[in-house]
Amino acid sequence: MASQTSTSVPYGLLTSNFQEPIMTSLLPNNEAKRWDTIAPYETLEAVTAPTEDCQPDPALKTKEEIFHNLIQNLQVGVLLQGPDSKILMSNRAALELLGLEEDQLLGKTSFDPNWKVIHEDGSPFLGETHPVPIAIATRKPVHGVVMGVYRPKYGDLIWLLVNADPQFTPEGTVRQVICTFSDITERKRIEEALSKSEFRHRALLNAIPDLMLRVNRDGEYLDVKPARDFSTLLDPAEMIGKREEDILPTEVAVRRKECLKRALQTGEIQFFEYEIPLDDGIHYEEARIIASGEDEALIIVRDVTQRKQAEEELRSQNHRAYLLTAIALRIRQSLNLDEILTTTVAEVRQFLQADRVMIYRFEPTWDGTVVVESVASNWTPALGTTIQDTCFKEGRWQKYYRGKIQTIDDIDQETLTSCHRELLAQFQVRASIVVPIIQGRGSRR
Per-residue model confidence as pLDDT tens digits over 129-139:
999 999 999 99
In the predicted model, is pLDDT for residue 45 greater than 80?
no
DSSP 392: I
Distance (Å, rounded) from C-alpha 206 to C-alpha 194? 18
Cα–Cα–Cα angle for 26, 29, 30, nearest 5°? 45
Cα–Cα–Cα angle for 37, 42, 45, nearest 5°? 145
Judge whether 385 and 370 are in contact, CB under 8 Å. Answer: yes
Residue at 22: amino acid letter: I
Max mean pLDDT range (41-45, 417-421, 441-445): 417-421
Which CATH architecture does the domain made up of 310-434 adopt? Answer: 2-Layer Sandwich (3.30)
In the predicted model, is pLDDT for residue 55 greater than 50?
yes
Per-residue model confidence as pLDDT tens digits over 272-299:
999 888 888 888 999 999 998 889 999 9
Q: Return the pLDDT at 125.
A: 95
Per-residue model confidence as pLDDT tens digits over 56-91:
566 555 666 666 676 777 889 999 999 999 999 899
Q: Return the pLDDT at 49.
A: 42
Q: Return the pLDDT at 196.
A: 81
In the predicted model, is pLDDT for residue 102 greater than 50?
yes
Report how far apart, in Å, the C-alpha atoms of 160 and of each of 84, 94, 104, 136, 254 are: 22, 11, 19, 20, 55
Judge whether 349 and 324 are in contact, CB under 8 Å. Answer: no
Per-residue model confidence as pLDDT tens digits over 28-41:
344 444 444 443 33
CATH topology of domain 28-188: Beta-Lactamase (3.30.450)
CATH 3.30.450.20 placement within the chain:
28-188, 208-303
Reported in sequence order, the residue ranges of 82-173 that DSSP labels E, i.e. its strands, are: 87-90, 117-118, 142-151, 156-168
Q: Is 18 left (phi over 0), alpha (psi -120 to 50) or beta?
A: left
The rounded Cα 203 to chain-centroid distance in angstroms is 10
Averaged pLDDT for residues 118-128: 94
Distance (Å, rounded) from C-alpha 180 to C-alpha 76? 7
Max mean pLDDT range (261-270, 333-342, 357-366): 261-270
Helix (H) or strand (E) holding 78: strand 77-81
**Interhelix angle for 305-333 vs 337-352, to 10°?**
170
Residues ≥6 apart with Cβ < 8 Å to 257: 219, 244, 245
Per-residue model confidence as pLDDT tens digits over 355-408:
999 888 888 777 888 888 999 888 888 888 887 776 776 667 777 777 778 788
Q: Is 288 left (phi over 0), alpha (psi -120 to 50) or beta?
A: beta
Per-residue model confidence as pLDDT tens digits over 213-261:
999 999 999 998 888 777 777 888 888 999 999 989 999 999 999 999 9
Residue 256: which of 270, 242, 246, 267 has the closest Cα? 270
CATH 3.30.450.40 placement within the chain:
310-434
Distance (Å, rounded) from C-alpha 21 to C-alpha 16? 9
Distance (Å, rounded) from C-alpha 12 to C-alpha 8? 10
Pick the CATH number of 208-303 from 3.30.450.20, 3.30.460.10, 3.40.50.1470, 3.30.1330.10: 3.30.450.20
Distance (Å, rounded) from C-alpha 145 to C-alpha 37? 30
Q: Return the pLDDT at 324.
A: 73
